[in-house]
C-alpha cells in the first residue's frame, strides 16, 4: 500500500493547524457572524424536520343530506332525508300491520360512477321501537360510538324475511358478506343517492 512520505504528512498537518488557528482567530474577531450562521443552520434544520414529519390530518367523515330507503311493500328504493330514523313512511303507504314501510337501505357498488345495474343493496336497517328514541340523540365518539352502533339496530338482506340484531353473529355475517372482496378483489363502497 502506498504511504505518504514523512515530510508531506508533516506539511499537511502544519497547514491544517494553520487553517484551524486562522479560523479560531476569525471566529474570535467576528462572533456575531458565527452566531448568525448558527441560528440560520438551526432554523434550516427545524424547517427540514417539519417538512419530513408526515401530516396527520383527521379523517373527514362525509355526511349526506339524503339517504337511501327501501319500501317493504314494493321492494323499491326511494330517497329521503338521511337524518330520519327508520321505520319511516314509504311512498306505498303503511304495512298491513299499520307500521311505516320505509327502512334504511345501504346501497353499494364496486365502481365509482355506477349505473343502476352496477349498484346493489347490501343490507336494510330499522330500529326496535325503544331504540328508535335513543337513535335520535347523536352518539358521541368519546362514549364508545362504535360499540353502541349496533344496539337496538336490526338489519337483514333484502331477500331475507327475518330481521336480526346488528350485534348478533348473524348480523356480523351480513356485514362481513357486504364488505368482503368480490371475485375481482374489489371491495364495495357506499353509493350515495
pLDDT tens digits along 151-175: 778 999 999 889 998 888 898 899 8
Specify the DSSP class assigned to residue 193.
-
Is pLDDT above 80 for 133? no
The mean predicted confidence, pLDDT, of the chain is 83
**pTM assigned to the model:** 0.61
Name the grid cell of 188. Answer: 364495495
- What are 26-69's pLDDT values in tens digits? 778 888 888 888 899 999 999 888 888 877 666 666 778 899 99
Q: What is the pLDDT of residues 108-122, one digit of tens each?
A: 998 888 888 888 999
Is 105 within 8 Å of 124 (Cβ atoms)?
A: yes
Residue 189 forms beta bridges with which residues?
Answer: 109
Confidence of residue 138 (pLDDT cuts 50, 70, 90): very low
- The strand pairing partners of 5, in sequence order, are none
Q: What is the CA radius of gyration of the chain?
A: 34
- Beta-carbon contacts of residue 128 (< 8 Å; ≥ 6 apart): 152, 154
Amino acid at each position: 500500500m502506498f504511504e505518504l512520505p514523512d515530510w508531506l504528512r508533516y506539511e499537511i498537518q502544519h497547514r491544517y493547524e494553520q487553517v484551524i488557528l486562522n479560523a479560531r482567530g476569525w471566529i474570535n474577531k467576528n462572533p456575531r457572524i458565527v452566531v448568525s450562521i448558527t441560528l440560520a443552520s438551526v432554523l434550516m434544520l427545524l424547517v427540514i424536520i417539519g417538512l419530513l414529519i408526515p401530516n396527520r390530518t383527521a379523517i373527514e367523515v362525509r355526511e349526506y343530506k339524503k339517504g337511501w330507503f327501501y319500501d317493504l311493500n314494493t321492494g323499491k328504493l326511494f330517497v329521503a332525508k338521511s337524518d330520519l330514523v327508520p321505520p319511516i313512511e314509504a311512498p306505498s303507504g303503511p304495512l298491513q300491520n299499520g307500521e311505516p314501510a320505509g327502512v334504511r337501505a345501504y346501497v353499494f357498488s364496486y365502481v365509482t360512477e355506477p349505473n343502476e345495474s352496477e349498484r346493489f343493496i347490501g343490507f336494510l336497517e330499522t330500529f326496535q321501537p325503544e331504540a328508535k328514541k335513543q337513535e335520535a340523540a347523536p352518539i358521541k365518539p368519546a362514549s364508545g360510538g362504535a360499540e353502541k352502533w349496533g344496539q337496538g339496530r336490526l338489519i337483514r338482506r333484502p331477500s331475507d324475511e327475518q330481521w336480526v340484531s346488528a350485534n348478533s353473529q348473524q348480523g356480523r355475517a351480513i356485514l362481513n358478506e357486504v364488505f368482503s372482496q368480490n371475485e375481482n378483489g374489489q371491495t364495495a363502497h357506499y353509493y350515495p343517492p
